[in-house]
Amino acid sequence: IYVLLEETVLAFFNSSNFSWSTEEEQLSPSSMVLEMTTYLLTMANTILLRLPPEVRSLAFFNLSENVNTGLKNILQEITPDATPQALSNFDADLQFLEKSLAEIASGSDISMPLLESRQLLDFLRSSDPMDEYNNPTIRLRKYDRLDIKNANMLLMRIKPELATSESSG
């Protein structure tokens, strides 16, 4: 089950065609996200439902980690010409996935499964990300799961004037 879910999620993300330079803002999640969540909901309501609670919880955890990895891989491909619309489109997909995974994992002890992706996107969309990150109070509240080296590398691609080679804190 774990391998099947991992391979399927990976296949969905590998087939995604996310455009960082789009000028069009989508009002709904991308077709890839809709198809993937439909598949995952079907799996959760059929196969995963029959598993013992401990195994089901582990499956939900692995599933959320795989989705989070797929999202971070898409973010790794961000380009200097990334538009605000593209970031909004990614946010729409992320919001839908957050809601869907919470629904799939309801009854398990998985909370905020895509928090790392959410924090990374919020960091990239911030008007002053490094100042926020370097403020311990803000960092603990907004970016506690963020790997700053990865975030700074992505920030250098889209806002090189805001990125730093080192961060304090």
Please write the tens of the pLDDT for every residue from 70-127: 999 999 999 888 999 999 999 999 999 999 998 888 766 666 779 999 999 999 999 8
Give residue limits of the domains in the chain. 30-158
Dihedral sign, CA of 124, 126, 129, 133?
Answer: negative
Residue 164 is predicted with a pLDDT of 60
pLDDT of 169 > 60? The answer is no
List for the chain the helix, strand, coil content (%; round to 5): 65, 0, 35
Query: Structure pTM?
Result: 0.88
